[in-house]
Amino acid sequence: MPTNPILVVHGGAWAIPDDMVEAHLNGVRNAAAAGWRVLERGGSALDAVEEAVVVMEDDETFDAGRGSFLNRDGKVQLDAFIMDGATLRGGGVGCVERLRNPVRAARKILSDSTHVYFVAEGAERFAAEQGIELCRNEDLIIPREVERLREYQAQAETHASHLFAPEISHDTVGAVALDREGNIAASTSTGGTLNKDPGRLGDSSLIGCGCYADNQSAAASTTGWGEPIMKLVLAKWAADRVAAGNLPAWVAKESMNYLKKRLNGHGGIILLDANGRFGIAHNTPRMAWALHTAEKLEAGTERTN
């Protein structure tokens, strides 16, 4: 019996300023629409989350793909992961500098490699071998982020301890989906944190931390301060609690409470199980999100479900 598809996306959890809210809402709506077109025609959850994330990687509003934060050396370094809940196959790239859409490379790893992970030059070489065009790192850099890094480094003495504060953008993007066949999938993509040390890897591309999917539990994508999320393996933590019989809406909220209580961390999560039950939660002032079902496309920056 066919399942009613559902798609949930996020575009980062932080203190999104009022003048940036509309750009974030447009971005997550566009991503949800792209993913939904896949699901509507009977496509897979895996294809849907990939297409949704690509849209946000291409949108300079978000910290993913072109327009991402710059690291300490003034370069863009990108991470992404994608996972299939039906097979537990996953693909991830870390610290790539010449890929416009790292989620495309991650998907190729999932489908065409015996490995799960490639990083840096090895990831770029694999992508090129699979027919994915490489770009210059300069093509991923925009003036807004050059200025942001310059301002931050000029005030490094006073800002150093606040690098991960909710006021500093955490525009990591992600998507979770359920298709007509009853399979779920998840993907997360990011440019990491402002002024990060070269080679730093966050939670987004780490299986079970920033992304996870298993038909027997849930699909999850997180955003926010990566280090605490990694330490708690938060996406898998949340999925396990859904598997134990808890509703995703409750688990999403509880995962944010857990993040705050254990490590004073902040962020957001989207969670979806194979029955179409979902959760959206964050412990930051705002999180950009969108929900697409056959009945509606809904988007917002605050959620209490």
172, 188, 222, 223: the active-site residue: 172
Contact of 271 with 176, CB cutoff 8 Å? yes
| Active-site residue flag, 301 | no
**Helix 102-112 vs helix 120-129: angle between axes, to the nearest 10 degrees?**
70
Sign of CA dihedral 33, 229, 102, 287: positive
Sign of CA dihedral 287, 293, 298, 302: negative
- Where residue 218 falls (left for φ over 0; alpha for ψ -120 to 50; beta otherwise) is beta
In angstroms, what CA-CA distances link 148 with 67, 71, 140, 170?
Answer: 11, 11, 15, 14
Residues forming a β-bridge with 219: 213, 272
Can you tell me the distance from the alpha carbon of 100 to that of 10, in angstroms, rounded to the nearest whole number? 19
3-state secondary structure of 38: helix
3-state secondary structure of 298: strand
b (16+ CB within 10 A) / e for 181-200: ebbbbbbbbbbbbbbbeeeb
Which residues are catalytically annotated? 172
